[in-house]
Amino acid sequence: MPRVGVLALQGDVREHVAMLERLGADVVRVRRPEEFAAVDGLVIPGGESSVIDKLTRIFSLAEPIREAIGRGMPMFGTCAGLIMLADRLVDAIDGQQTFGGLDVTVRRNAFGRQVDSFEGQVQVPALGEDPVHAAFIRGPVVEKVGPDATVLAALDDGSVVAVEQGSLLGISFHPEISGESRFHERFLRRVAAQG
Protein backbone atom coordinates (compact mmCIF):
# COMPACT_ATOMS: atom_id res chain seq x y z
CA MET A 1 0.00 0.00 0.00
CA PRO A 2 1.14 3.56 -0.60
CA ARG A 3 2.51 5.83 2.11
CA VAL A 4 0.01 8.59 2.77
CA GLY A 5 0.04 11.54 5.10
CA VAL A 6 -2.56 13.09 7.34
CA LEU A 7 -2.00 16.79 7.95
CA ALA A 8 -1.61 16.67 11.73
CA LEU A 9 -1.57 20.29 12.87
CA GLN A 10 -5.20 20.55 14.01
CA GLY A 11 -8.50 18.71 13.67
CA ASP A 12 -9.68 15.10 13.66
CA VAL A 13 -6.32 13.59 12.74
CA ARG A 14 -6.62 10.43 14.87
CA GLU A 15 -9.85 9.32 13.20
CA HIS A 16 -8.36 9.61 9.70
CA VAL A 17 -5.20 7.79 10.73
CA ALA A 18 -7.26 4.95 12.22
CA MET A 19 -9.41 4.65 9.08
CA LEU A 20 -6.43 4.63 6.72
CA GLU A 21 -4.50 2.12 8.84
CA ARG A 22 -7.56 -0.12 8.96
CA LEU A 23 -7.53 -0.05 5.15
CA GLY A 24 -3.87 -1.13 5.14
CA ALA A 25 -2.17 2.17 4.36
CA ASP A 26 1.23 3.21 5.67
CA VAL A 27 0.30 6.48 7.40
CA VAL A 28 2.52 9.42 8.36
CA ARG A 29 1.34 12.27 10.59
CA VAL A 30 2.52 15.34 8.68
CA ARG A 31 3.66 18.30 10.77
CA ARG A 32 6.87 19.33 8.96
CA PRO A 33 7.97 19.67 5.33
CA GLU A 34 10.30 16.66 5.58
CA GLU A 35 7.38 14.45 6.66
CA PHE A 36 5.29 15.76 3.79
CA ALA A 37 8.13 15.04 1.36
CA ALA A 38 7.95 11.35 2.35
CA VAL A 39 4.30 10.74 1.35
CA ASP A 40 2.51 10.01 -1.93
CA GLY A 41 -0.85 11.53 -0.96
CA LEU A 42 -2.31 13.75 1.76
CA VAL A 43 -5.52 13.82 3.79
CA ILE A 44 -6.51 17.26 5.09
CA PRO A 45 -8.83 16.66 8.04
CA GLY A 46 -11.75 18.56 9.41
CA GLY A 47 -11.07 21.16 12.06
CA GLU A 48 -10.93 24.95 11.85
CA SER A 49 -9.85 26.07 8.39
CA SER A 50 -8.47 29.43 9.52
CA VAL A 51 -6.27 27.69 12.11
CA ILE A 52 -5.10 25.08 9.60
CA ASP A 53 -4.25 27.92 7.20
CA LYS A 54 -2.19 29.79 9.82
CA LEU A 55 -0.40 26.70 11.12
CA THR A 56 0.57 25.43 7.66
CA ARG A 57 2.15 28.81 6.96
CA ILE A 58 3.91 28.89 10.36
CA PHE A 59 5.29 25.35 9.85
CA SER A 60 6.33 26.05 6.22
CA LEU A 61 3.90 23.51 4.77
CA ALA A 62 1.56 25.75 2.75
CA GLU A 63 3.85 26.26 -0.25
CA PRO A 64 5.01 22.62 -0.48
CA ILE A 65 1.35 21.52 -0.40
CA ARG A 66 0.42 24.03 -3.14
CA GLU A 67 3.34 22.83 -5.25
CA ALA A 68 2.33 19.19 -4.76
CA ILE A 69 -1.24 19.99 -5.84
CA GLY A 70 0.23 21.55 -8.98
CA ARG A 71 2.18 18.33 -9.64
CA GLY A 72 -0.97 16.24 -9.25
CA MET A 73 -0.42 14.68 -5.82
CA PRO A 74 -3.68 13.06 -4.65
CA MET A 75 -5.29 14.89 -1.75
CA PHE A 76 -8.51 14.26 0.14
CA GLY A 77 -10.07 17.05 2.21
CA THR A 78 -12.96 16.59 4.63
CA CYS A 79 -14.92 19.58 5.97
CA ALA A 80 -12.17 22.14 6.70
CA GLY A 81 -10.03 20.14 4.28
CA LEU A 82 -12.53 20.90 1.51
CA ILE A 83 -12.26 24.59 2.41
CA MET A 84 -8.46 24.39 2.19
CA LEU A 85 -8.63 22.81 -1.29
CA ALA A 86 -11.12 25.36 -2.68
CA ASP A 87 -9.97 28.05 -5.10
CA ARG A 88 -12.50 30.55 -3.70
CA LEU A 89 -14.05 31.15 -0.26
CA VAL A 90 -17.17 32.96 0.92
CA ASP A 91 -17.21 34.18 4.54
CA ALA A 92 -13.45 33.77 4.98
CA ILE A 93 -11.82 35.62 7.86
CA ASP A 94 -9.52 38.53 6.96
CA GLY A 95 -6.34 37.26 5.32
CA GLN A 96 -7.45 33.64 5.19
CA GLN A 97 -5.74 31.62 2.45
CA THR A 98 -6.36 28.22 0.92
CA PHE A 99 -4.13 25.76 -0.94
CA GLY A 100 -6.52 25.84 -3.89
CA GLY A 101 -6.76 23.29 -6.65
CA LEU A 102 -10.53 22.67 -6.72
CA ASP A 103 -12.37 24.96 -9.13
CA VAL A 104 -15.13 25.68 -6.61
CA THR A 105 -16.47 28.42 -4.36
CA VAL A 106 -17.05 27.18 -0.81
CA ARG A 107 -18.99 28.81 2.03
CA ARG A 108 -17.57 28.17 5.49
CA ASN A 109 -19.91 26.95 8.27
CA ALA A 110 -22.81 26.83 5.81
CA PHE A 111 -24.83 24.50 8.03
CA GLY A 112 -24.65 26.77 11.05
CA ARG A 113 -23.06 26.36 14.44
CA GLN A 114 -21.94 23.24 16.28
CA VAL A 115 -25.45 22.75 17.71
CA ASP A 116 -26.80 22.57 14.15
CA SER A 117 -24.70 19.50 13.33
CA PHE A 118 -26.59 16.55 11.89
CA GLU A 119 -26.25 13.13 10.28
CA GLY A 120 -27.98 11.86 7.18
CA GLN A 121 -27.85 9.60 4.15
CA VAL A 122 -26.24 11.00 1.00
CA GLN A 123 -26.37 9.37 -2.42
CA VAL A 124 -22.93 9.25 -4.05
CA PRO A 125 -23.40 7.40 -7.36
CA ALA A 126 -19.62 7.17 -7.92
CA LEU A 127 -19.38 5.03 -4.76
CA GLY A 128 -22.23 2.66 -5.60
CA GLU A 129 -25.93 2.32 -4.91
CA ASP A 130 -25.78 2.26 -1.11
CA PRO A 131 -25.99 5.77 0.35
CA VAL A 132 -23.20 7.23 2.45
CA HIS A 133 -23.92 7.85 6.13
CA ALA A 134 -22.64 11.40 6.53
CA ALA A 135 -21.92 13.44 9.66
CA PHE A 136 -22.09 17.21 9.07
CA ILE A 137 -20.37 19.27 11.79
CA ARG A 138 -20.35 23.00 11.01
CA GLY A 139 -19.67 21.87 7.47
CA PRO A 140 -19.04 23.95 4.38
CA VAL A 141 -21.13 23.88 1.20
CA VAL A 142 -19.90 24.21 -2.36
CA GLU A 143 -21.83 27.21 -3.69
CA LYS A 144 -20.38 27.30 -7.21
CA VAL A 145 -18.74 24.58 -9.24
CA GLY A 146 -16.42 25.64 -12.03
CA PRO A 147 -16.08 23.74 -15.30
CA ASP A 148 -13.01 21.82 -14.16
CA ALA A 149 -14.65 20.24 -11.08
CA THR A 150 -17.18 17.40 -10.94
CA VAL A 151 -20.03 17.12 -8.43
CA LEU A 152 -20.07 13.74 -6.69
CA ALA A 153 -22.93 14.39 -4.26
CA ALA A 154 -25.60 16.92 -3.34
CA LEU A 155 -28.27 17.02 -0.66
CA ASP A 156 -31.99 16.94 -1.50
CA ASP A 157 -32.05 20.76 -1.47
CA GLY A 158 -29.32 20.85 -4.12
CA SER A 159 -26.47 21.79 -1.76
CA VAL A 160 -23.26 20.35 -3.22
CA VAL A 161 -21.33 18.42 -0.56
CA ALA A 162 -18.76 16.37 -2.51
CA VAL A 163 -16.59 17.33 -5.48
CA GLU A 164 -13.67 15.92 -7.37
CA GLN A 165 -11.15 17.37 -9.78
CA GLY A 166 -8.23 15.40 -11.12
CA SER A 167 -6.39 13.98 -8.13
CA LEU A 168 -8.29 16.12 -5.60
CA LEU A 169 -11.35 15.01 -3.63
CA GLY A 170 -13.23 17.29 -1.24
CA ILE A 171 -16.31 16.62 0.88
CA SER A 172 -18.33 18.64 3.42
CA PHE A 173 -18.79 15.85 5.95
CA HIS A 174 -16.85 13.39 8.12
CA PRO A 175 -16.79 9.77 6.90
CA GLU A 176 -13.97 9.04 9.33
CA ILE A 177 -16.42 9.67 12.19
CA SER A 178 -19.36 7.70 10.80
CA GLY A 179 -17.19 4.72 9.82
CA GLU A 180 -17.76 5.16 6.08
CA SER A 181 -14.61 3.94 4.31
CA ARG A 182 -15.45 4.30 0.60
CA PHE A 183 -14.04 7.83 0.20
CA HIS A 184 -10.77 6.80 1.85
CA GLU A 185 -10.66 3.73 -0.40
CA ARG A 186 -11.18 5.94 -3.46
CA PHE A 187 -8.36 8.21 -2.29
CA LEU A 188 -6.00 5.26 -1.69
CA ARG A 189 -6.75 3.81 -5.14
CA ARG A 190 -5.86 7.16 -6.67
CA VAL A 191 -2.60 7.31 -4.71
CA ALA A 192 -1.73 3.74 -5.75
CA ALA A 193 -2.48 4.55 -9.41
CA GLN A 194 -0.08 7.53 -9.28
CA GLY A 195 2.70 5.36 -7.87
Contact 105, 90 (CB under 8 A): yes
> Which residue in the list 79, 164, 180, 184 is annotated as catalytic?
79
What b-and-e string marks burial along 161-193, b requiring 16 or more CB atoms within 10 Å of the CB? bbbbbbbbbbbbbbbbbeebeebbebbbebbee
15, 16, 164, 174: which one is catalytic? 174
Catalytic residue among 15, 16, 164, 176: 176
The answer to whether 164 is a known catalytic residue is: no
Q: Is 178 left (phi over 0), alpha (psi -120 to 50) or beta?
A: alpha
Establish whether 184 is a catalytic residue. Answer: no
| 174 annotated active-site | yes
Cβ contact 87:102 at 8 Å:
yes
Just list the catalytic residues.
79, 174, 176
